[in-house]
C-alpha cells in the first residue's frame, strides 16, 4: 500500500505527465501551422510518450491499491516565436519533469517504499534520455538559426523519428 504522501505526489505526477502531453500537442499544432511536419511529428510522438508515462504511474497506483485522482490540466502555451524557442521550452520543461521525478524518488526514500524506488528508476533513466534528446535539437537549431534551408533539412531529419519500444 502506498503512503498518503506518496499517493498524492504520484497523482500530481500523473497530472504533470498529462500536461506534458498537452504541451507537446500544442507544440505539434504550432509546427503544423508553420509547415514543419518533421518537428510536428516529433512533438506529436512525444505527446503520445507522455501519455504512456502517465499511464505507467496510473497503473502503478492501481497495482499498489491506491486511488488515482485526476487533477485539472491547464492550457499550454500555444504561440512561439521560432522552432528554437519551442525546443528551448521543451528542454526547460523536461528539466522540470526531471526535478519532479527526483522529488518523488526522495519521497519514496523517506517513506521507505522500496517498490516505488524501483519503479522510479525507469523514469530517472528516461529523463536522462529526454533531456539529452531535447538538448541536442536545441544545439542543432542554434547552429542553423539563420539558415532556412538548413532548418528544412533538420525538420526532415527530426521527422524520421520512429516509435520507441520499452
Q: What spatial distance separates the first Cα and last Cα of the chain, rounded to whole Å?
A: 26
36 within some domain: yes
Confidence of residue 24 (pLDDT cuts 50, 70, 90): very high
165 within some domain: no
Counted domains in the chain: 1
38 within some domain: yes
8 within some domain: yes
* Lowest-pLDDT range of 14-18, 34-38, 54-58, 145-149: 145-149
pLDDT at 64: 98
- In tens, the pLDDT along 95-136 reads 999 999 999 999 999 999 999 999 999 999 999 999 999 999
88 within some domain: yes
The residue range of the domain holding 114 is 4-158
Domain with residue 59: its CATH number is 1.20.1260.10
Residue from 60, 66, 54, 70 nearest 3 by CA:
66
> What's the predicted TM-score (pTM) here?
0.90
Average pLDDT, the chain: 94
In angstroms, the CA 43 to CA 30 distance is 10
pLDDT at 148: 65
68 within some domain: yes
164 within some domain: no
pLDDT at 146: 66
166 within some domain: no
Amino acid at each position: 500500500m502506498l503512503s498518503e504522501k506518496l499517493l498524492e505526489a504520484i497523482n500530481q505526477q500523473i497530472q504533470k505527465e498529462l500536461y506534458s502531453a498537452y504541451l507537446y500537442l500544442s507544440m505539434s499544432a504550432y509546427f503544423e501551422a508553420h509547415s514543419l511536419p518533421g518537428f510536428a511529428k516529433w512533438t506529436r510522438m512525444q505527446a503520445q510518450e507522455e501519455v504512456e508515462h502517465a499511464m505507467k504511474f496510473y497503473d502503478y497506483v492501481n497495482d499498489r491499491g491506491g486511488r488515482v485522482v485526476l487533477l485539472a490540466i491547464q492550457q499550454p502555451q500555444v504561440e512561439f516565436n521560432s522552432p528554437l524557442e519551442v525546443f528551448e521550452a521543451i528542454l526547460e520543461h523536461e528539466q522540470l519533469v526531471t526535478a519532479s521525478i527526483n522529488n518523488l524518488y526522495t519521497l519514496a526514500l523517506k517513506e521507505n517504499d522500496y517498490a516505488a524506488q524501483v519503479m522510479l528508476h525507469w523514469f530517472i533513466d528516461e529523463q536522462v534520455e529526454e533531456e539529452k534528446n531535447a538538448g541536442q535539437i536545441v544545439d542543432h537549431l542554434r547552429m542553423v538559426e539563420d539558415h532556412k534551408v538548413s532548418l528544412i533539412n533538420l525538420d526532415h531529419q527530426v521527422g524520421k523519428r520512429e516509435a520507441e519500444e520499452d
